[in-house]
Structures are given as structure tokens and as C-alpha cells.
Amino acid sequence: MSLPIILNTPSYEVELPLSKKTVKYRPYLVKEEKLLMMAMESQDQKQILRAVQEIIEACTFGEVKAKTLPTAELELLFLKLRSKSVGETTQVGYECKNCGTKNELVVNLEAVELTQAKKTDSKILLTDKVGVIMKFPTADDVTRAIGSNEGEVKNTFAIITSCIEAIFDDNGVYEAANLERKEVESFVDSLNSQQFKKIQEFFEGLPKLSHDASFDCVNCGTHNKLVIEGLQAFFV
């Protein structure tokens, strides 16, 4: 006699704020949680990111291509999955700014949102005639950079290069997809500090998971205020 299979898994919907798409999803199952736990155990960032992508694709019924999602939306969607799969709250530990004592803080995951992009225009003018058109970094961009094993600085530049969608001047627009990667890298290397800073500001202003929190230290009573940012910060 065959064992019973539970099929009545509930489904939910969430609107992705950057893509403006409504996505249907279900809680992840034990087999998917096991995949995540194994990746977390490895402490390999690339493996963790891939596990998150696989879980998202499975739990969105194959409708979402996780590697093409902006990383901010990837993190938000995974947080929604975590909330419906394990529970709407998570317990995180943060040190008191006064005495250094670690305090346990309960965070409502449903209250976590994406910050607004500080720079909404993806077109950046570098000189009077030359500029770039940027795109949000995707999970695929980050995975490729992490996989290069070239160190943090080179990984950062790799992500920046991947996020240049086009380069333009007064003669026309040059799509990065039609250029050799080395050409784009050479273009970035040719920028001066002020020009490169304009591109850095685009990344500094990208949307990210953010939540305002506070606690009174259990040891000294000091009131602590903090901003929790980024997916991993909600599971420390």
C-alpha cells in the first residue's frame, strides 16, 4: 500500500515592487528546507545563493526565473517564503552599543520592506557627451562574481561591469550585450575617480531589505536603535 502524499499546500501572492509583477508562491517543503540547510552548513556564499534561487523557482511553480530577478526582489521574495514556511517572526542577536552584550531580538518578517531607490534614473552622464545606462544587479550577476574567486575588489568590479546595460555618446548607443566583456571592463578602467563615483552612487542607492528595530539591553538597560539591512542580517 502506498503512503499518503499531502497535496493541500496553500498558495499566496506578492507584488514585486521593482518588476511590478504579481507572483504566486507556496511555502517551501522539507526537501527544499533541507537543500537550504545543507547550503547554509557549507558557508559557501555561492552555494547558498544557488539554493535560494532553486527554492524560489520551485515555490513559484516555475513561473519565476530567479537568476534574472534583481537581488533586492530575490531577497524580498525569499523572506516572504521563509515567513510562510517557518513562521512570520525570526529571532536575531545584536550587541548592545554600550556594553557589547548580545541581545535577542524578535523581528516580524512581514514588516520588512524594500527601501526606495535613491536614484531612480538609470541613465548616468559621465561627461558632457558620454554616459552609461545601468540596470539593477541580478542573482546571476552576483553568482558569477562570487564564482570568480578573484577577491572582494575584483568581485565588486565584476558586478559593476555586469550592470552596465549600455554605453552612449553623441554618436550613438552601444549595447553591452553586443560588446566583448573586456571592452566594457576597459571602459570602466578608463574612468576617473569623479566619474566612477557617479556609478558607485547608483549602487549605494539601490533598494534593499530594511527594517527599523530597537531594544533595551538586558545587561545595562541602554536603549539601542538599529536598522537591519540585507537578507543575511535577519538570520544572524
First to last CA, the chain: 44
Length of the chain: 236
Q: Write the pLDDT tens digit of every residue in 47-72.
A: 889 999 999 999 999 899 999 999 99
Distances (CA, A) of 51 to 28, 123, 181: 12, 33, 27
Helix (H, G, I), strand (E, B) or coil at 149: coil
Angle at the Cα of 78 from the Cα atoms of 230 and 206, rounded to 5 degrees: 40
Mean pLDDT is lowest, of 1-15, 30-44, 115-129, 158-172, for 1-15
**Overall average pLDDT of the 156-167 stretch:** 94
pLDDT above 90 for 124: yes
> Which residues are paired to 216 by β-bridges?
223
Cα(225)–Cα(163) distance, integer angstroms: 34
Burial of 104 (0-12, 13-18, 19+ CB in 10 A): exposed
Instruction: Enter the DSSP assignment of 139.
Output: H
Instruction: Enter the DSSP assignment of 153.
Output: H
Cell 557627451 locates to: 129
pLDDT above 90 for 2: no
pLDDT band, very low/low/confident/very high, at 6 (cuts 50, 70, 90): low
Domain ranges of the chain: 7-87, 91-109+209-236, 123-204
Q: Write the pLDDT tens digit of every residue in 83-112.
A: 999 999 999 999 999 999 999 999 999 999
Q: Write the pLDDT tens digit of every residue in 185-218.
A: 999 999 999 999 999 999 999 999 999 999 999 9
Kindly report the number of other CB atoms within 10 A of residue 168's CB atom: 17
Cα(231)–Cα(75) distance, integer angstroms: 6
Cα(40)–Cα(128) distance, integer angstroms: 47
Contact 101, 220 (CB under 8 A): yes
Cα(1)–Cα(86) distance, integer angstroms: 31
